[in-house]
Homo-oligomer: A and B are copies of this chain.
């Protein structure tokens, strides 16, 4: 061709994660693990569009969120890319209500978009992995007890180091504030939310600056710094002379939820009642959760959520209470990778077997590959005509554990030479014997 091609430097946008193959395999392993746990609890998959009508998607938002949204015109249409999976869920449930069975248990794993400030560890395109249980008019509080079991299964199966699910109840907290004459003071929750980051002294100072009396602050601190086992904390909450209905409801809910969390199989070491957990100011109305890696508190919560009263008030007059959690997978993967915590997950490989022809044995190699693939062994055939050393090098680079070598002799004898790349052992055997060795059956 005479046409001179323009060459553009290939690059991606800042804040858009793109992984190399080995990392991508680990990432997918994490995503698959989360999905399989969500499914094991009977959650149904949804897959809503990434782009929605701006007037529908942005009905509730404002301020910081709205500024971050990827919004644009296409023809006459005002479009916006989803910035979370909760608003699309609300829209979905309201839109398809007549076709859904309640309680509606759905999971969604998908990418969302936020034009965040560009900085290390912040992503503009990232995966959220959400589950929610939605009731129509009513959803029993016992649903709140199943959520920690799901969180526990996810992080146990991911093999993450010591994690702890911290649980609080917003009714209990709001009742407490009512009791102390401090209702409707969001700055109190805001200050408590910062306790872990800034410490008790600075939190006290913030509360005093907000005009809270010192004896009220002392009273609040006696509660939020309750220490002990989960049962000891529940006892402490019950024994406190708080004559407030909301508080009492909160304590009852927390007691009921705690008992059932145990029945659902969460070990005591993996969940802790903790009155410093706030999780946002407005949305949650009952149980709230966050999840920390005990030895890496700087990573922050890796899975959070809670109970809300009304999912879709902007889309329907029906009341839809629910409870849910979200895992920000892109950020979690990034953080674990940075902290060196991907551990055994890094040993994930996909291809188990490379079939290597020597000489003109490709037809037999193809037939061998067919046999192994039919037995669900992930199999590649090295199809390029090159030196044997290069072929073996390919297997090594890709971390493929087994190689089957087929030369003219093997074709004649109906055998293969099976090589274990870890030990270096090589042995001639029948196809079926090789299959048994590789599958360990």
Contact = CB atoms under 8 A, between A and B. Distances in A.
Contact of A350 (B39, B53, B103, B369): B39
A261 B145 CA distance: 54
Contact of A140 (B92, B260, B384): B384
A46 interface: yes
Interface string A35-66: 00001111011111111110110010000000
A387 B380 CA distance: 55
Given A77-B13, A96-B20, A394 B101 contact: yes
Given A10-B94, A24-B46, A100-B21, A143 B383 contact: yes
B52 A260 contact: no
Interface string A113-149: 1010000000001000000000100111011011001
A359 B91 CA distance: 35
A355 B315 CA distance: 33
A441 B313 CA distance: 47
A264 B351 contact: no
A347 interface: no
Given A10-B56, A350-B42, A378-B39, A18 B115 contact: no
A283 interface: no
Interface stretch (A68-76, A170-178, A269-277): A68-76
Contact of A362 (B24, B142, B385): B142
Contact of A28 (B45, B96, B378, B394): B45
Interface string A93-108: 0111001110101100
Contact of A383 (B39, B48, B146, B370): B146
Interface in A241-284: 259-260, 263-265
B44 A383 contact: no
Given A24-B47, A59-B8, A18 B379 contact: no
A366 B264 contact: yes
A241 B260 CA distance: 82
B55 A8 contact: yes
B51 A125 contact: yes
Contacts of A74: 70, 72, 115
Contact of A13 (B25, B27, B52, B363): B52
A5 interface: yes
A222 interface: no
Interface in A360-410: 362-364, 366-367, 369-370, 373-374, 376-381, 383-385, 394, 397-398
10 contacts: A8-B56, A10-B90, A10-B315, A16-B51, A20-B100, A21-B106, A101-B398, A135-B384, A139-B384, A264-B366
Interface of A: 5-13, 16-21, 24-25, 27-28, 39-42, 44-53, 55-56, 59, 70, 72-75, 77, 79, 90-92, 94-96, 99-101, 103, 105-106, 111, 113, 115, 125, 135, 138-140, 142-143, 145-146, 149, 153, 259-260, 263-265, 312-317, 350-351, 354, 362-364, 366-367, 369-370, 373-374, 376-381, 383-385, 394, 397-398
